[in-house]
């Protein structure tokens, strides 16, 4: 395997990884496909500040110029945020983007892959993908779930997006042997909402306990990652019944317009933003900041465990 040919790690991050210091991976799809410019640039800088304030080093990933980027320069970050000719790259697309030199924003699955290749074990995102509603007919299941089954990275998220079938998503993760921990909660969070109605088997009340579980999992040779469900802070949480109604309306519009596949999630999130008058986007920002904060604490605790 000739990974050095393709992997480009910023010096500060490479030094931290080599020294066993805490590093937190970040995706770039949220920048290129999840937010408008220049709000996405402000968000990117804020997330990095939060991670550094907690004693960890941020590592935003992307695919640029035939390289798997771990950490972006200011020009590269600008490129991702302006999002001109920037594709959305999942695992299946990685080889094509590397070989053609196309610019790609990393999804949860691709960020996990790149983080693992670089030796980073903690990743903060908004919400993971999962089993889509109606998947028994469409077979629409996010590549995030297979990545979690195979790639040793702990993913801190506000659960899965409410547009998904959360029950089937949890069943799929169980079948694949992926631990799903609730941080200071007994219930799987549902992105904009703190609750989902689905109880979890495992609750962890401290970053240190999560770090111990990570260490135990990988030291005994269990493959794959884990999910840490971190509920959105109460002051930014939206009502579950209200959001269910909004999402059903967005799903109906997607069906009417024939939106499917990799385009469905960005379409639904844009519809939800409009239907909620922008309130959903504000919540999205806050839950992402909250996840970055917890991921940093976990990375620090994991570095201490080692």
For 219-245, what is each residue's pLDDT tens digit? 999 999 999 999 999 999 999 999 999
Q: What is the pTM of this model?
A: 0.94
User: Mean of the pLDDT values across residues 105-130?
Assistant: 97
User: Mean of the pLDDT values across residues 99-111?
Assistant: 98
Residue with tokens 């989902």: 196
Domains and CATH numbers, the chain: 3-305 (3.40.1790.10)
Q: What is the mean pLDDT of the chain?
A: 94
User: Mean of the pLDDT values across residues 11-34?
Assistant: 96
Structure confidence at residue 181 (pLDDT): 98
Structure confidence at residue 133 (pLDDT): 83
User: Mean of the pLDDT values across residues 236-262?
Assistant: 89
Please check the confidence at residue 281 and state whether its pLDDT lies above 90: no
Residue with tokens 């490479």: 14
Closest CA to 144 of 118, 106, 117: 106
Structure confidence at residue 13 (pLDDT): 98
* CB-count burial class (<10 Å; 0-12, 13-18, 19+) for 263: middle
DSSP assigned state of 160: B
User: Mean of the pLDDT values across residues 115-125?
Assistant: 98
Residue with tokens 């694949």: 176
Please check the confidence at residue 68 and state whether its pLDDT lies above 90: yes
Q: How far apart are CA 1 and CA 268, in angstroms?
A: 39
Query: Model confidence at 292, in pLDDT bands (50, 70, 90)?
Result: very high
Structure confidence at residue 142 (pLDDT): 92
Q: Is the sign of the CA dihedral 18, 8, 56, 218 positive or negative?
A: negative
Characterize 118-157 residue by residue with b for buried, 16 or more Cβ atoms within 10 angstroms of its Cβ, and e for exposed: bebbbbbbbbbbbbbeebeeeebbbbbbebbbbbbbbbbb
Please check the confidence at residue 259 and state whether its pLDDT lies above 90: no
User: Mean of the pLDDT values across residues 35-48?
Assistant: 94
Catalytic residue, from 161, 217, 273, 297: name it: 161
Catalytic residue, from 27, 48, 54, 76: name it: 27
Structure confidence at residue 268 (pLDDT): 84
Q: How far apart are CA 136 and CA 281, in angstroms?
A: 30
* CB-count burial class (<10 Å; 0-12, 13-18, 19+) for 220: exposed
The model's pLDDT over 172-199, given as tens digits with 9 standing for 90+, comes to 999 999 999 999 999 999 999 999 999 9
Q: How far apart are CA 29 and CA 90, in angstroms?
A: 10
Residue 21 a catalytic site member: no
Q: How far apart are CA 21 and CA 18, in angstroms?
A: 8
The percent of residues in the chain predicted with pLDDT above 70, rounded, is: 99
Residue 27 a catalytic site member: yes
Query: Model confidence at 35, in pLDDT bands (50, 70, 90)?
Result: confident
Structure confidence at residue 168 (pLDDT): 96
């Amino acid at each position: 395997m000739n990974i050095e040919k393709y992997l480009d790690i910023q010096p500060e991050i490479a030094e931290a990884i080599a020294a066993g210091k805490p590093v937190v991976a970040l995706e770039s799809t949220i920048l290129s496909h999840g937010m408008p410019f220049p709000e996405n640039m402000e968000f990117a800088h804020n997330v990095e500040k939060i991670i550094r304030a907690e004693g960890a080093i941020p590592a935003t990933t992307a695919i640029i110029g035939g390289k798997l980027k771990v950490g972006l320069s200011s020009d590269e970050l600008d490129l991702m945020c302006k999002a001109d000719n920037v594709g959305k790259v999942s695992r299946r697309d990685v080889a094509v983007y590397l070989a053609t030199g196309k610019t790609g924003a990393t999804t949860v699955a691709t960020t996990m892959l790149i983080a693992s290749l670089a030796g980073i074990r903690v990743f903060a995102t908004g919400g993971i993908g999962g089993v889509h509603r109606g998947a028994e007919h469409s077979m629409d299941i996010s590549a995030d779930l297979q990545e979690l089954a195979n790639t040793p990275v702990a993913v801190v998220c506000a659960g899965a997006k409410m547009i998904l079938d959360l029950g089937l998503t949890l069943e799929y993760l169980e079948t694949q042997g992926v631990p799903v921990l609730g941080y200071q909660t007994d219930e799987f969070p549902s992105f904009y909402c703190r609750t989902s109605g689905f109880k979890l088997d495992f609750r962890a009340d401290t970053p240190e306990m999560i770090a111990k579980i990570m260490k135990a999992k990988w030291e005994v040779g269990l493959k794959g990652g884990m999910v840490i469900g971190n509920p959105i802070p109460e002051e930014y949480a939206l009502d579950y019944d209200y959001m269910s109604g909004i999402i059903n309306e967005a799903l109906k519009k997607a069906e009417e317009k024939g939106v499917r596949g990799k385009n469905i999630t960005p379409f639904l999130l844009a519809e939800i933003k409009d239907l909620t008058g922008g309130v959903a986007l504000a919540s999205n920002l806050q839950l992402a900041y909250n996840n970055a904060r917890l991921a940093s604490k976990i990375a620090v605790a994991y570095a201490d465990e080692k």
